[in-house]
Structures are given as structure tokens and as C-alpha cells.
Chain A
Amino acid sequence: MSSLLEVKDLVIKFGLRTGDVTATTGVSFTIEKGEKLGLVGESGAGKSVTGFSIIVLISKPGYVADGHILFKGTDLTKISSEEMRNIRGNRISMIFQDPMMTLNPVLTIGTQMTETLLAHNPKMSMKEASEIALEKLRKVHIPSPEKRLEQYPHEFSGGMRQRIIIAIALITDPEIIIADEPTTALDVTIQAEIMDLISELCETEDMGFILITHDLAVVASVTENIAVMYAGRIVEKGRTRDVIDNPQHPYTKGLIKALPEGAKGSNRLNQIKGMMPTLTNIPDGCAFNPRCPYVMDICKTDEPSLIQVKGMDTQAACFLCKEEVFTNE
């Protein structure tokens, strides 16, 4: 029995005039029905491009150079664009960051919802489509949905719009939902509401859910599994609780320390020194070595691969984990 989605050794490159730039290297993860996975990392770590690669919509000049994306056993990198269009938005949906921008300002939300349905089910009647749209609006707790169907996006608040976007993503009963920073543009109370809604829906609908974000708090509260990305590589992955409570990779440690709660007593927030390298300028060996507080000689020459951490359910790409030099503070 193959997994719902399996990403294997994904390499995404961007063809530039000066040569190819590698955006992600050897990214692998799997996701099962009803599972919620968090993809975490700084801006430019390759989270979003990984998300887009799953629906085969990397914007030019990016392309998948190597690796497989298996959706229920079918390799999405190998099927025709016609077949892909039938999967995209139908069986795999995506939710975007900014709810103010993702709805078309001149179409009523009813039109936008039914259009998605009709595009994937040409035989469906308009009436059936609007009934499904109503049902989905109820599911995302929009009050008096009959009236709302005829309104335009500017008549809704930000939180309401994000819920409508979720309803549109849900409308074809997809098997996987990819959310690219779905709550970044919303304030904290609405954020919690939206995240609760999404995780509740994932459980009732038995969907796989990939949450792409840089917000560790959101990941910790929603997901079961986590993959931490740095400079296009997964540096640590495992059960969310384990990784947050007991991080193995120095980068993950740094991220968690950087949370405001970590700055107890002292006035300054802890931060990881330096910046993430640009993709054209990734250092030899471990990509994190210039910023790593525990850097060793081997880190500057060899690249660590993801290995099982002893006695734990976590995998990390760090030599410290291998040699067991590194103990938890």
C-alpha cells in the first residue's frame, strides 16, 4: 500500500543565465491520510517551492531536476499536463498566504466557488454546484451562506475571506491540502480560529495536510509531524512534539531558542547569528556551518545526510548526532 503522498529525493533547480541554481536538494517526506505535516524554515529555505512542486506549478525558470513525487503511487513529475490539471485543484488543493489577494475582486464568491467545481466536473449542473458551495460555506462557519454567495470579495473581512478560500480549496473534496503560510496575513486571534478550523476539517474529511510556515508556534499547535528546512535541505524531521521539545539539529535548536519564550530573564531575544546563505553561494560541507555554534572541521568539508537519532523517532542531518558527541543541554 503506497502512501498518500511521497516525495523522494526532490531536487529543484532554477535555470539562470549564469547556470543552474539548486533550490532544494534531496527533500524527502511522506504523508498519510489525515496526517498533518509542518514544513518549517526561514524565508528562502525552499518551503514554498517544495509546496508548488507537488502540484507541478513551479514558476519558470524553475524545474524539477531529479526525484519523484508519488501521489497514491502515480509519479506527478511524469504525467501529462492534462492529467495534472485534473489533479491540481481537484485532488490536491492549495491555500495561499494573503486572503486579500487570492480572490478575484470582480467575481462573486458564488461564481468563484462553482467555477472550480464545474471546471473539474463538466457534467455537474449549476444548481448542484451551488448546493455544494453552500454546504462548504456552512462547513467553514460562514453565517447566512445563501446571501453570501452573491457577494463580492470586498464585502468580506480578512478572516472571512480566508475561510472562503478554505471553502474553495475544500469544494472538490481533495485528498491533500497544501497551505502556504495561510495565517501570516491575519491577526493572532483570527489565526488561531483559522488553524483550528483547518485541523478540524482535516480530521473530519480525512485529508492530508501540509502546512508551510515559519511560525513554529502554529506548527506545534496543529501538526503531528514536522520537517525543518534550511537552504533547500531538510535538516531535521520527526514527530512535532519530539522535535520541539528535544531538537537535535543546531539550527532547530537555534530556531526554538529564538522564540520570545526562550528569552527568559534576559532582555534580548536569542537569535541565530548571521544570515541564511543565498542559493548561489551555499558553503561547502554542511550548509549551516558558518552559523553553527558547534561547528567542527568535518562540517566544512563533508555534507551530513539525514540519519536516525539514536533512541529517538527523529532524523537529523548533523555530524553531532552521529558521533553522539552532542548531548542535550
Chain B
Amino acid sequence: MSRHIDNFKQSYLWYAFKRDKVAIASMIVLCILVFTAVFAPLIATYNPYDPINTDVMNSEIPPLWMEGGDSAFLMGTDAQGRDLFSTMVYGMRISLLIGVGAVVLQSVIGITIGLISGYFGGKLDSFFMRMADVQLSFSYLMVAIFFTAILQAAVGVGRFGEIAIPFLILVIGFSQWPQYARTVRASVLAEKKKEYVEAARVTGFGAGRIMWGHIFPNTLSPILVLSTIQVANAVMSEAALSFLGLGMPISRPSLGSLINSGFEYIFSGAWWITIFPGVLLVVLILSINLLGDFLRDVLNPKLYKG
């Protein structure tokens, strides 16, 4: 293990990282945000899901430093009287959970399909790639609106809230797999011609072992870059869906639904309900994207631009 750490310290990645101020700053910001999200129950001052902590009388209290601010609510409260800071922290947790979950799903589907179509080629390849084309020709919003409408009608809006997280992961995951499949397929096509693949065949390995054990590790660097960009995309997709009222319900808000819920009050003066979650979303996405750009530049300057 210590050998791996030593190796990492000598790697070009670490060398480039130490010299890139933007990358260091985004890494620090991202680490703080992820830490906050993971340990939300310890950091948030209230549990926003617990009705005991909500009092309609406390609604729309401005942030602490403004006139009428309450020392109990650092960033004020939302329209339902929940502490905005705690709700944001919990909301970011949901946003990140959906983002990462969707990317895991995308990558599992996309990498498997990409490996298979790149390695076997022929009809299988044509079939999967045409499927990817068809998939990409639908906007994910359209697909999501379609399925959300059906699902909400089927299980009722109340119950929809309970299954919203896995549902959003599925919708975003399924709509974006072609990105992975195409990237992986392109790398596999290049790797498959190299002699080590032939050597592996000569050694008597089966197709599965060659694909996963030998070709897949060689396609990891584009996958890594794509994954960072896709996490940001997925978080954004989720925010967009929630903003349209198709995502997380207001009782368990993500950043997107928080922005949406505050939108009605923005002209009545309660701007903080929309602005704070909005800024948090921007900072989160920006730090992920900047890190993704850094990785892309280091690992392969010729790669796909997100």
C-alpha cells in the first residue's frame, strides 16, 4: 500500500496537480462540499425532515446579518419555516447522491456495452451503436417528463416522493449511457489492435477476461475524465428536473427543488431562498468541472471536451 502511495507521489498527475492552483482550489472546495454533504446530520443545525423543527411562524426569516434576522437561523428560513442552511446541506446530499448514483449506473451500462461492441464488432456493434444514436436523439428532459408523468399518475404524488431518488437515478442513468458506450468503444477499437491483446488470446484467455482484465484497464483514463464531467452533468440534470417540479418533492428538497420553491418569493423580497442554493449549486458544479478539465489536460489533451 505504501508503495502505491509512493508511486502516486512520483506520478505526473500529482506533479501537475501541485502546480495547478485552480485544480488545488477546486479540490479543496469540492472536498469541503462533499464532506459537508456526507456528514450532513452532524453539520446541519436542524433536521429539516423532522416536522418538530418546522414552524410556519418562522417562515421567510432573512439571513442573520439582515434586519429581522434570527440568530437561530444563519441563512434565514424558507417559506415553510425550515432553517435554510440545514435544508441546503441536506439538499446537496441528495443532489450528490443522485449525481453519483446516476453516473455509476451510466458507467456500468455504458462500459459494458462499449466493451462488447468494440471487442466483438460486426452486427452487435451496429446494433448497440444505433441504439445509442436513437437514445441520444431524445432529450433526457423529454424522457424524464414522460416517465415522471406516468409514474406520478400511477403511484400518486405522495408516494412518488418516496421513490423519487432511485427513480431520478434510473432516468438520468439510462438517458446518458451512450456517452460512456461511445467513449469506451472508441478506446477499445484502438486497444484491440495492440499486440498484448493478441498475446492474451494466445495465452488461452476467454473473451470476458480479455475485455475486463486487459482492455478495460487501458481505457480507464478517458473514463475517469468523462466521469467527472458526467457527475456535474447529472447533478445539473437533477436540478433542472427538480426545478421543473419533476424531481424531488419539497418535503425532501434537493438543491434544484429548493431553488424552485424560493422562486415564487423572490420578488416579495425573500431572495435568499433561491439565491443561496443557486450559488451552492454553481460552486459545486464549477469545482467538479474545473477538476474534470484538469484531469483531461493531464491525462490526454486530445480527449473529448465536455
A106 x B218 contact (CB < 8 A): yes
How many B residues face the partner with a CB closer than 8 A? 19
Q: Does B209 contact A (CB under 8 A)?
A: yes
User: Which of chain B's residues have a CB closer than 8 A to the CB of A313?
Assistant: none
B202 x A88 contact (CB < 8 A): yes
Minimum CB–CB distance from A212 to chain B (whole Å) comes to: 13
CA distance A19 to B263 in the complex (A): 71
A107 x B202 contact (CB < 8 A): no
User: Which of chain A's residues have a CB closer than 8 A to the CB of B196?
Assistant: 101-105
B195 x A89 contact (CB < 8 A): no
B195 x A102 contact (CB < 8 A): yes
Q: What 1/0 flags go to A98-130 for Cβ under 8 Å of B?
A: 100111111100000001100110000000000
Given contacts A98-B195, A101-B195, contact A89 B217 (CB under 8 A): no
User: Which of chain A's residues have a CB closer than 8 A to the CB of B195?
Assistant: 96-98, 101-102
User: Which of chain A's residues have a CB closer than 8 A to the CB of B199?
Assistant: 94, 96, 102-103, 165
**Most chain A beta-carbon neighbours within 10 Å: one of B3, B198, B199, B214:** B199
Q: What 1/0 flags go to B115-140 for Cβ under 8 Å of A?
A: 00000000000000000000000000
A85 x B206 contact (CB < 8 A): yes
Q: Does A43 contact B (CB under 8 A)?
A: no
Given contacts A101-B195, A105-B196, contact A119 B201 (CB under 8 A): no
A89 x B203 contact (CB < 8 A): yes
* Contact for B202 among A55, A103, A115, CB less than 8 A: A55
CA distance A105 to B201 in the complex (A): 16
Q: Does A2 contact B (CB under 8 A)?
A: no
CA distance A120 to B209 in the complex (A): 13
A105 x B202 contact (CB < 8 A): no
A96 x B204 contact (CB < 8 A): no
Size bin of chain A's contact surface: 20 to 34
Dominant SS among interface residues on chain A: loop
Given contacts A98-B195, A102-B196, A103-B196, contact A88 B203 (CB under 8 A): yes
In chain B, what residue has the closest Cβ to A87? Answer: B204
User: Which of chain A's residues have a CB closer than 8 A to the CB of B205?
Assistant: 89, 115, 119
User: Which of chain B's residues have a CB closer than 8 A to the CB of A93?
Assistant: 202-203
CA distance A305 to B204 in the complex (A): 36
In chain A, what residue has the closest Cβ to B214? Answer: A104
B204 x A86 contact (CB < 8 A): yes
Q: Does B200 contact A (CB under 8 A)?
A: yes
Q: Does A150 contact B (CB under 8 A)?
A: yes
Minimum CB–CB distance from A288 to chain B (whole Å) comes to: 31
Minimum CB–CB distance from A114 to chain B (whole Å) comes to: 12
User: Which of chain A's residues have a CB closer than 8 A to the CB of B203?
Assistant: 88-89, 93, 116, 119, 168
Q: Does A90 contact B (CB under 8 A)?
A: yes
Q: Which 10 A-B residue pairings sit nearest by Cβ, starting from the closest?
A: A89-B204, A89-B203, A101-B195, A88-B204, A102-B199, A106-B217, A104-B196, A94-B202, A85-B204, A102-B195
A-B contacts, 30 listed (Cβ < 8 Å) = A57-B201, A85-B204, A85-B206, A86-B204, A88-B202, A88-B203, A88-B204, A89-B203, A89-B204, A93-B202, A96-B195, A96-B198, A96-B199, A101-B195, A102-B196, A102-B198, A102-B199, A104-B200, A104-B214, A104-B217, A104-B218, A105-B196, A105-B218, A106-B220, A107-B213, A107-B214, A115-B205, A119-B203, A119-B205, A168-B203
Given contacts A101-B196, A104-B218, A120-B204, could you give 11 more A-B pairs where the C-beta distance is less than 8 Å? A89-B203, A94-B199, A97-B195, A102-B198, A103-B199, A104-B200, A105-B196, A107-B213, A116-B203, A119-B205, A168-B203
